[in-house]
Amino acid sequence: MGYGVRPDEQNTEKQSVDQSTPEDVGRVTPESKIVIDRNALIPKMLTLNVGDEFCGVVAHIQTPEDFFCQQLQSGHKLAELQESLSEYCGQVTPRSDFYPTIGDVCCAQFS
């Protein structure tokens, strides 16, 4: 397993993203990457006031006062993402030379 270390010149607001398909894994070069705005990848936070209601499920609890909920109306998006990631990861051969840097968006399979 590799651990990412932020290079001194890395811009925390931008990151590189491979423009590759599962067949291209192992042939990715710096020229095949584009820079995107990471802020566009961060989901918008739902702001609620005391008394507001929505249908949802508790997704993660850190403490009784600090927890995260998933809106049921957007649950289909999460299910589609999970299915898409599972399909993609099933086609890609794991790489031992992959070392993401801090702030890079990546996924990891687990069981």
What torsion do the CA atoms of 79, 85, 90, 96 make, to the nearest 10 degrees? -140
Residue 31 lies in a domain: yes
The distance from CA 30 to its chain's CA centroid, rounded to whole angstroms, is 21
| 87 and 50 assigned to the same domain | yes
Q: Specify the number of domains making up the chain.
A: 2
Q: What is the pLDDT of residue 64?
A: 93
| 28 and 58 assigned to the same domain | no
Residue whose token pair is 């006062």: 65
| 85 and 58 assigned to the same domain | yes
Q: What is the pLDDT of residue 38?
A: 62
Q: What is the pLDDT of residue 3?
A: 37
Q: List the domain range (segments joined by +) for residue 67.
A: 45-93
| 53 and 89 assigned to the same domain | yes
User: What is the spatial distance between Cα 61 and Cα 17, in angstroms, rounded to a whole number?
Assistant: 31
Q: What is the pLDDT of residue 1?
A: 38
Q: Are 25 and 42 in contact (CB under 8 A)?
A: no
| 57 and 85 assigned to the same domain | yes
Q: What is the CA radius of gyration of the chain?
A: 18
Q: Are 105 and 38 in contact (CB under 8 A)?
A: yes
| 32 and 49 assigned to the same domain | no
Q: What is the pLDDT of residue 18?
A: 45
Residue 2 lies in a domain: no
pLDDT tens track, the chain, 111 positions: 333 444 444 444 444 444 445 555 555 555 455 555 666 666 677 788 889 888 888 989 999 999 988 888 877 887 888 888 888 888 888 778 888 888 887 777 666
pTM reported for the whole predicted model:
0.40
